[in-house]
Structure 1
């Protein structure tokens, strides 16, 4: 039996709901990353949320694993909502999530062995990387969206401060930029 580990993630940036919804997933075999991908699943719609993007990441990961002929997967995500819904601990009430949930359940039945578990955000860094890269690449390719989401994106002053701190951060929200600036300023300089 071929067993792999799948890590999935999703984000809706720079505002949730209604931002740019992206997914990411990474596949590991014996601790070695064998595949990773990210993409955009929605933007601008009220139903476009981080939970929708998280489910999209799970569905994309399961589709990839089935297409690759894997029959045993251990799935990990940092979304307690998605994991608990998949485990049957929470009901799926949001109409925008129901089709994705049903697709994920259907896909999960295609494996001989399937498990899903929650992990802290820090243990989901590769899936997060693919999700964030998809967001930033999409934002860069669509100048009209920089204007549309401008009030939530980092200001020019914040971007300049981050550049001085050695951080390239053109796609960050104002809140993320502020947190990063504060955390970097606390680091003693040698």
Structure 2
């Protein structure tokens, strides 16, 4: 089964910093990476949780573009994983829209599992969030959303 990993960050402060995401898809033939801005920098929407949710949404969107129907998704955000699996309720209004978008995309997969992993096992996606952050600081990353 194809594996996908996602991550998000918001630095130098959370909330209100620069929120970026990264994802990594491990296939039999090659690996696919993606990263970008999750929200307008320095805005109230720039949070770590928005970045994590955006990373997952962009990963799922890319998997759909690739016509992958069965996938195992990993992320190190206990909040996101537990909210999607119905263990935690969503209290943040800014996350509800992302949560709903993700659930719509999830319904299109034949088989999907979303599991939590420790940060140490999510190094590649974490690295991609930091690449995006560096590019945003340099003014080279301006488009918000999935790339």
Tell whether the structures are fold-level matches, with TM greater than 0.5. yes
Separation in structure 1 between the aligned mates of residue 73 and residue 99 of structure 2, nearest angstrom: 15
The match for 1:90 is: 88
CA distances 1:98-152 after superposition (whole Å, capped 9, x unpaired): 000111111111110000000000100111111110010110127xxxxxxxxxx
SS in 2 for 1:17: coil
* Structure whose residues are more often helix by fraction: 1
The match for 1:21 is: 19
Q: Which has the larger radius of gyration?
A: 1
Separation in structure 1 between the aligned mates of residue 104 and residue 9 of structure 2, nearest angstrom: 23
Structure with the larger RCO, 1 or 2 (CA within 8 Å, 6+ apart): 2
Separation in structure 1 between the aligned mates of residue 11 and residue 127 of structure 2, nearest angstrom: 14
Q: Mapping of 1:1-190 within 5 angstroms? A: 3-30=1-28, 34-42=31-39, 43-141=41-139
SS in 2 for 1:97: helix
Separation in structure 1 between the aligned mates of residue 66 and residue 45 of structure 2, nearest angstrom: 31
| TM-score relative to the length of structure 2 | 0.91
Q: How many residues align?
A: 139
| TM-score relative to the length of structure 1 | 0.71
Unmatched 5+ stretches in structure 2: 141-147
RMSD (Å) for aligned C-alpha atoms: 1.3
Separation in structure 2 between the aligned mates of residue 114 and residue 141 of structure 1, nearest angstrom: 36
Unmatched 5+ stretches in structure 1: 143-190
Residues 33 and 7 (structure 1), Cα distance of their counterparts in 2 relative to 1, 3 Å cut: farther
